């Protein structure tokens, strides 16, 4: 936006619905399911039959409390359920049981975004529109699957602290990692167990008043969220610049077209007529319940990232990259444990000892940084949606490979190739290196590398002369020759140093 | 056989002097020949399980208000929108009675979704009062009351939201008890107003009421608002009312100023009953329930508000009536609900929807809830000085069919004396206290929460002294 007459600041708040992975539904004993034949997990309660009454799932409350504590919220010792009234075929009672003015949790914070509230509610059933489009318009008929009806949900509402589409995506990633770490949800956006709406407005940079906001729905992936929010920010800025009003409305993100279309105003303009649910008693969060919830809190991603950064010396971004994707963090720590374990049965313990023993600049920290640096390379090879623990590369092999690099037993280029092989077919990295003769060539070995270096200098006398004259760039072809000859087994840095030594050029002393 | 109360019949069965199958058949024959339109369904054969003579209720059959879900048996809540609906499960209180050995005899007619005081709002036609077939039996549990009064069933259960057990019991000359809110599970009761609805017995005498209630109460994990009843329900045995302090609330029966317009005959009977109570040793004094005159207004906001949500599920999508609309989903909703609900139900849905609307909530629903709290406080204060509050159950005896159908407000005034108790969640019983111009009059006693056993005892002592004879209705 540099050069524009006015700079705009987006103000974004997120509303996240999380399906809890309890065994049974929010207000009845039916099992939760995904992908089962329709309407087999139903009962009078979740079908909204006459006379049925809800009863609160205590496990869902427990999960709600864990989430509240993890988000540093203030827990209400007495919260209320309300009825949110509207008619729709996926809502069997004609109202949703939700929390309204006295939610389970208020306030809180996750990373750099403040939490407004966290509350419990129930999910609606699933509507399936039969017809070519799969959407309601143009469908032949709609059928309802009540398996989902009454699934426990936690709704998390943030304060409008999100400042960009990238920020939204990054923060949602952190939230997902946190929820996954808590073990309270599958947090799968494609399956709808994690759903995110965004409230978006723009204002001139530095202004304090908020602009008119719109609500974006149906962004069921991280990239849709980012794209949807970006599209909306651009649309709002162009409206403002054209002197037009922004209409407060609900917009539906169409990922295929990358467009936002307004929902019919009828659908958006509900009077939900909230009133306290008379079929449920107030929810009392006792000291015992809070103690049970806090007792089950694991180390959360933010704390883990801080630990990776401070105790293991990882750069901040790398620490977050691993900690915010829990499975990467887990894999990383298992690899570190494996690397440290040969001398002790308890790998994690010995790693910790080693880090402490080595001190801030010790080898433990260097090993950790090296191991961490290799994880993105593994992820790149297995695909970013996959858990490396489920790949062909167990953390032990991965650790062995990294150790070989650290010990200069193989070059980085070779290590990359071996990693590719491991991902494709598995195996023991040390065996692969031995079988294929990929061990590093060092000057200290049997002189083979030095022979090749001398041959390379002789083969390109022109280049050697330029290097000797101080043109360092000319060294490239000579290095290339060596790397070809050694099939990458030599270390590039060492090869460069050897060539300079032989030619008589030393770094930092041009023209010596 | 038909002159036996439920408890007496059960005793005979246990003593092997009466065959429970014969008892069931006799009542089934009478119910099937019913001319009062008291039933919406009558068992077409003996119960699936042979009656157990050793069970607490010893095979004495029970009639159940239509709005209790009974598995496989029509449960229509008096509404066209549920015509022919057979639920896949049975309401907890019905299941408890079946378990205690009372087989299901019949389902009884009622005002649609329990909204009414005359049973004229039933989609299946009005119920006639066995004392005078030109008159209403009261409502909304009018079918249960008429059936018990007419000897078409030994005993019955109903539900009370603003008086729906006590008022028809009064108008039919039988006993009706509304228990403490939460005493009986509401699971499987098709809801009218969830914070007020409570199941209770309609019986020939106080002992029967106690016996049925004993097998209805208890915490149910399916109903979060139900509670474990503190202590067993004892069968009543009091012979007098010595030391019992009765409070007569000025605001409900007050001289000349009362909003209900108590009929002279009813008032005279009430006064006479108070003298009988005094003769039994009770003290009778005026007491104050300052907010009680506002109970009816609060009730007609809270109950319709809850009903507007409770009745939203009748949308034609999953069960009951569906009338296809001309165009879209919304037109199907409109067509179904327009055809399925009666006038009074529609009126209350609209009232309730309005009371909850954005911008009106505080003024209506919010204020009504505050009044409700005040009324509960009033009762608490009174019960510090009195054991029970007593009133006429209904300001009038049974009125003629059609007399009040065009005037909803006049109809609502039926509940003037019965509405404050459910708002406060407290128990109240109506017992027949005599006749006025040949029609039964009811006397109401209300006590603090969970005082049922004491309440039944006091009612029992009065009942013995009154010596009401209901046999004229059992022709």
> Are the CB atoms for B248 and B288 separated by under 8 Å?
no
Q: Do the domain assignments include residue B472?
A: no
Burial of A47 (0-12, 13-18, 19+ CB in 10 A): buried
> Are the CB atoms for B192 and A279 separated by under 8 Å?
no
B92 pLDDT higher than 90: yes
Cβ pair A273:B308 closer than 8 A: yes
Say what the pTM is: 0.88
CATH code for the domain of B213? 3.90.1300.10
Element (H, E) at A503: helix A492-503
The whole-number pLDDT of residue A137 equals 65
Q: Do the domain assignments include residue B412?
A: no
Structure tokens at B178: 């509304």
The mean pLDDT value of chain B amounts to: 96
* Any B CB within 8 A of A55 CB: yes
* Any A CB within 8 A of B360 CB: no
Structure tokens at A441: 């060539």
Residues of A in contact with B356 (CB under 8 A): 85, 273-275
Cβ pair B225:A275 closer than 8 A: no
Pairing of β B283-287 and β A126-130: unpaired
- B326 and B235 belong to one structural domain: no
Burial of A412 (0-12, 13-18, 19+ CB in 10 A): middle
The number of C-beta contacts closer than 8 angstroms across A and B is 103
Residues of B in contact with A50 (CB under 8 A): 69, 75, 77, 82, 85, 87, 190-191, 313-314, 319
Q: Find the CB nearest B188 among A48, A51, A55.
A: A51
The whole-number pLDDT of residue A362 equals 47
A263-291 burial, b for 16+ CB within 10 Å, e for fewer?
Answer: eeeeeeeeebbbbbbbbbeebebeeebbe
pLDDT per residue, tens digit, chain A (512 aa), is 444 567 899 999 999 999 999 999 999 999 998 889 999 999 999 999 999 999 999 999 999 999 999 999 999 999 999 999 999 999 999 999 999 999 999 999 999 999 999 999 999 999 988 876 666 666 678 899 999 999 999 999 999 999 999 999 999 999 999 999 999 999 999 999 999 999 999 999 988 898 999 999 978 899 999 999 999 999 999 999 999 999 999 999 888 888 889 876 555 567 999 999 999 999 999 999 999 999 999 999 999 999 999 999 999 999 999 998 888 999 999 999 988 765 433 334 344 444 444 443 346 888 999 999 999 999 999 988 889 999 999 999 999 999 999 888 888 888 999 999 999 999 999 999 888 878 777 666 657 788 888 888 888 888 888 888 888 888 888 888 888 888 778 877 888 888 888 887 555 444 43
- B157 and B59 belong to one structural domain: yes
Q: Do the domain assignments include residue B376?
A: no
Q: Do the domain assignments include residue B151?
A: yes
Helices (H), B215-294: 250-253, 264-279
Q: Domain of B313?
A: 293-369
The whole-angstrom distance between A95's CA and the closest CA on chain B is: 7
Q: Which of B91, B141, B136 is nearest to B113 (CA)?
A: B141
- B195 and B305 belong to one structural domain: no
Between positions 68 and 97 of A, the ones with CB within 8 A of B are 83, 85, 87, 89, 92-95
Q: Residue A404 forms beta bridges with which residues?
A: none
> What's the CA gap between A28 and A152, in Å, rounded?
10
The whole-number pLDDT of residue B126 equals 98
Q: How far is CA B462 from CA B242, B451, B466, in A?
A: 12, 17, 6
The whole-angstrom distance between A89's CA and the closest CA on chain B is: 7
- CATH class of the domain whose range is A448-503: mainly alpha
Element (H, E) at A12: strand A8-19
If one counts the domains in chain B, the total is 2
Dihedral sign, CA of A472, A473, A474, A479? positive
- B314 and B237 belong to one structural domain: no
Condensed to tens digits (0 to 9), the pLDDT of residues B215-274 reads 999 999 999 999 999 999 999 999 999 999 999 999 988 754 445 589 999 999 999 999
Residues of A in contact with B311 (CB under 8 A): 94
Q: Do the domain assignments include residue B273?
A: no
Q: What is the mean pLDDT of residues B326-353?
A: 95
> Are the CB atoms for B128 and B65 separated by under 8 Å?
no
Q: Which of A26, A38, A42, A50 best probes binding to B when mutated, by most B CB atoms within 10 angstroms?
A: A50
Domain segments of chain A: what residues? 11-290, 301-435, 448-503
Residues of A in contact with B188 (CB under 8 A): 51-52
Cβ pair B223:A50 closer than 8 A: no
Complex prediction ipTM = 0.96
The whole-angstrom distance between B196's CA and the closest CA on chain A is: 9
- B175 and B37 belong to one structural domain: yes
* Any A CB within 8 A of B335 CB: no
Residues written for chain B = 475
The whole-number pLDDT of residue B348 equals 97
Instruction: Decide which of B329, B348, B369 is a domain's last residue.
Output: B369
Q: Residue A155 forms beta bridges with which residues?
A: A17, A119
The whole-angstrom distance between B57's CA and the closest CA on chain A is: 25
Residues of B serving a catalytic function are 65, 140, 164
- B215 and B320 belong to one structural domain: no
> Are the CB atoms for A314 and A372 separated by under 8 Å?
yes
> What's the CA gap between B380 and B28, in Å, rounded?
44
Condensed to tens digits (0 to 9), the pLDDT of residues B395-445 reads 999 999 999 999 888 889 889 999 999 999 999 999 999 999 999 999 999
Q: Which of A176, A171, A168, A178 is nearest to A301 (CA)?
A: A178
Q: Find the CB nearest B69 among A48, A51, A54.
A: A51
> What's the CA gap between A415 and A110, in Å, rounded?
38
* Any A CB within 8 A of B79 CB: no
Residues of B in contact with A49 (CB under 8 A): 69, 87-89, 318-319
Cβ pair B225:A271 closer than 8 A: no
Cβ pair B319:A95 closer than 8 A: no
Residues of A in contact with B82 (CB under 8 A): 50
> What's the CA gap between B363 and B357, in Å, rounded?
10
> What's the CA gap between A83 and B195, in Å, rounded?
13
* Any A CB within 8 A of B323 CB: no
Q: Which of B93, B310, B319, B366 best probes binding to A when mutated, by most A CB atoms within 10 angstroms?
A: B310
């Amino acid at each position: 936006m540099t050069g524009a007459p006015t700079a705009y600041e987006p103000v974004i708040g997120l509303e996240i619905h999380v399906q809890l992975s309890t065994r049974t539904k929010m207000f009845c004993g039916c099992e939760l399911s995904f992908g089962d034949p329709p309407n087999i997990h139903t009962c009078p309660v979740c079908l909204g039959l006459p006379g049925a009454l809800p009863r609160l799932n205590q496990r869902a409350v427990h999960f709600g409390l864990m989430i509240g504590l993890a988000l540093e919220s203030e827990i209400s010792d007495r919260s209320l359920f309300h009825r949110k009234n509207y008619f729709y075929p996926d809502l069997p009672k004609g109202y949703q049981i939700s929390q309204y003015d006295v939610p389970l949790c208020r306030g809180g914070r996750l990373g750099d975004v403040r939490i407004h509230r966290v509350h419990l509610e129930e999910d609606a059933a699933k509507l399936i529109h039969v017809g070519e489009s799969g959407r309601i318009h143009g469908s032949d008929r709609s059928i309802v699957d009540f398996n989902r009806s009454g699934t426990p949900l936690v709704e998390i509402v943030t304060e409008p602290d999100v400042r960009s589409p990238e920020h939204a995506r990054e923060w949602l990633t952190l939230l997902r990692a946190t929820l996954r770490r808590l073990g309270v949800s599958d947090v799968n956006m494609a399956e709808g167990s994690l759903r995110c709406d965004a409230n978006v407005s723009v204002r001139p940079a530095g202004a304090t008043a908020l602009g008119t906001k719109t609500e974006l729905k149906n962004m069921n992936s991280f990239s849709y969220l980012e794209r949807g929010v970006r599209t909306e920010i651009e649309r709002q800025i162009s409206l403002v610049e054209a002197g037009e009003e922004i209409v407060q409305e609900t917009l539906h993100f169409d990922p295929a077209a990358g467009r936002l279309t307004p929902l019919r105003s009828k659908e958006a303009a509900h009077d939900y007529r909230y009133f306290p649910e008379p079929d449920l008693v107030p929810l009392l969060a006792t000291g015992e319940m809070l103690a049970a919830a806090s007792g089950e809190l694991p180390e959360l991603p933010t704390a883990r990232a801080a630990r990776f950064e401070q105790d293991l010396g990882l750069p901040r971004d790398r620490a977050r990259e691993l900690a915010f994707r829990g499975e990467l963090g887990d894999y990383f720590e298992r690899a570190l444990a494996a690397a440290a374990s040969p001398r002790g049965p308890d790998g994690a313990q010995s790693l910790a000892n080693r880090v402490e023993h080595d001190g801030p600049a010790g080898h433990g920290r260097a090993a950790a940084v090296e191991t961490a640096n290799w994880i993105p390379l593994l992820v790149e090879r297995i695909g970013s949606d996959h858990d490396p623990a489920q790949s062909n590369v167990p953390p032990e092999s991965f650790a062995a490979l990294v150790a070989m690099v650290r010990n200069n037993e193989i070059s980085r280029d070779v290590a990359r190739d071996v990693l590719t092989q491991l991902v494709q077919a598995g195996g023991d990295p040390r065996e692969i290196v031995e079988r294929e003769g990929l061990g590093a060539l060092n000057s200290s070995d049997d002189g083979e590398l030095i022979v090749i270096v001398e041959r390379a200098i002789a083969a390109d006398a022109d280049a050697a002369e330029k290097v000797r004259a101080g043109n360092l760039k000319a060294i490239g072809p000579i290095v290339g020759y060596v790397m070809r000859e050694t099939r990458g087994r030599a270390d590039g840095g060492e090869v460069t140093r050897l060539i300079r030594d032989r030619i008589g050029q030393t770094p930092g002393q041009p023209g010596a | 056989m038909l002159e036996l109360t439920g408890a007496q019949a059960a005793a005979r069965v246990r003593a092997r002097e009466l065959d429970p199958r014969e008892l069931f058949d006799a009542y089934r024959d009478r119910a099937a020949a019913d001319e009062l339109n008291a039933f919406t369904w009558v068992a077409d054969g003996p119960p699936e399980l042979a009656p157990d003579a050793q069970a607490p209720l010893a095979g004495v059959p029970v009639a159940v208000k239509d709005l209790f879900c009974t598995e496989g048996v029509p449960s229509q809540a008096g509404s066209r929108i549920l015509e022919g609906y057979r639920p896949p499960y049975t309401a907890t209180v019905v299941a408890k009675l079946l378990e205690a050995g009372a087989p299901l005899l019949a389902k009884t007619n009622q005002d649609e979704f329990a909204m009414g005081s005359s049973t004229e709002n039933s989609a299946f036609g009005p119920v006639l009062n066995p004392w005078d077939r030109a008159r209403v039996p009261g409502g909304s549990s009018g079918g249960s009351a008429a059936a018990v009064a007419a000897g078409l069933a030994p005993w019955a259960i109903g539900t009370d939201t603003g008086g729906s057990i006590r008022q028809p019991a009064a108008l039919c000359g039988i006993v009706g008890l509304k228990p403490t809110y939460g005493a009986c599970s509401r699971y499987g009761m098709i809801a009218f107003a969830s914070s007020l609805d409570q199941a209770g017995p309609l019986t020939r005498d106080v002992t029967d009421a106690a016996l049925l209630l004993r097998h209805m109460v208890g915490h149910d994990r399916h109903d979060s608002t139900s509670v474990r009843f503190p202590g067993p329900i004892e069968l009543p045995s009091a012979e007098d009312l010595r030391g019992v302090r009765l409070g007569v609330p000025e605001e409900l029966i007050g001289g000349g100023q009362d909003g209900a317009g108590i009929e002279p005959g009813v008032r005279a009977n009430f006064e006479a009953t108070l003298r009988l109570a005094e003769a039994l040793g009770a003290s009778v004094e005026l007491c104050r329930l300052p907010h009680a005159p506002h109970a009816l207004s609060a009730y007609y906001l809270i109950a319709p508000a809850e009903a507007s949500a409770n009745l939203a599920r009748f949308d034609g999508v999953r069960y009951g009536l569906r009338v296809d609309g001309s165009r879209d989903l919304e037109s199907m909703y409109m067509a179904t609900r327009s055809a399925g609900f009666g006038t009074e139900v529609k009126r209350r849905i609209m009232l309730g929807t309005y009371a909850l609307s954005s911008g009106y909530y505080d003024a209506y629903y919010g204020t009504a809830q505050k009044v409700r709290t005040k009324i509960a406080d009033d009762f608490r204060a009174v019960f510090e000085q009195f054991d029970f509050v007593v009133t006429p159950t209904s300001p009038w005896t049974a009125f003629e069919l059609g007399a009040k159908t065009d005037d909803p407000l006049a109809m609502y005034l039926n509940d003037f004396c019965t509405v404050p108790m459910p708002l406060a969640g407290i128990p109240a019983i109506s017992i027949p206290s005599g006749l006025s111009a040949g029609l039964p009059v009811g006397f109401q006693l209300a006590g603090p929460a969970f005082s049922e056993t004491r309440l039944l005892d006091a009612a029992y002592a009065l009942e013995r002294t009154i010596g009401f004879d209901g046999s004229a209705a059992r022709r």
